[in-house]
Amino acid sequence: MALYVSDHTQFMRSLLARNPEWVSEQKIGRAIWWEKTSDQEQKKAFDAAKVAPKAYPYDVNFNF
């Protein structure tokens, strides 16, 4: 069992103890930006629309 607690962890714990409403706001923000469901049909459409890249675009004789 580790007894060491970093300065950053101590700071964050004290900050959240002084502002408990931030925890609920953090969960709302996380739900907006990170916790999204994936649409499998849309993923299939994106995968089907991909275009293969050219072999070596930095070639001297590369035609656009």
Contact 23, 16 (CB under 8 A): yes
> 38: closest CA among 46, 26, 30, 27?
46
Name the more confident of 35 and 1: 35
Q: Is the pLDDT of residue 45 over 80?
A: yes
Confidence of residue 63 (pLDDT cuts 50, 70, 90): low
Q: Note the maximum CA span of the chain.
A: 64
pTM given for the model: 0.46
pLDDT at 19: 96
pLDDT at 52: 85
Mean pLDDT of the region 20-40 = 89
CA torsion 44-45-46-49 (nearest 10°) is 120
Name the more confident of 26 and 54: 26
Task: Tell me phi and psi for residue 20, to 5 degrees.
Answer: -65, -20
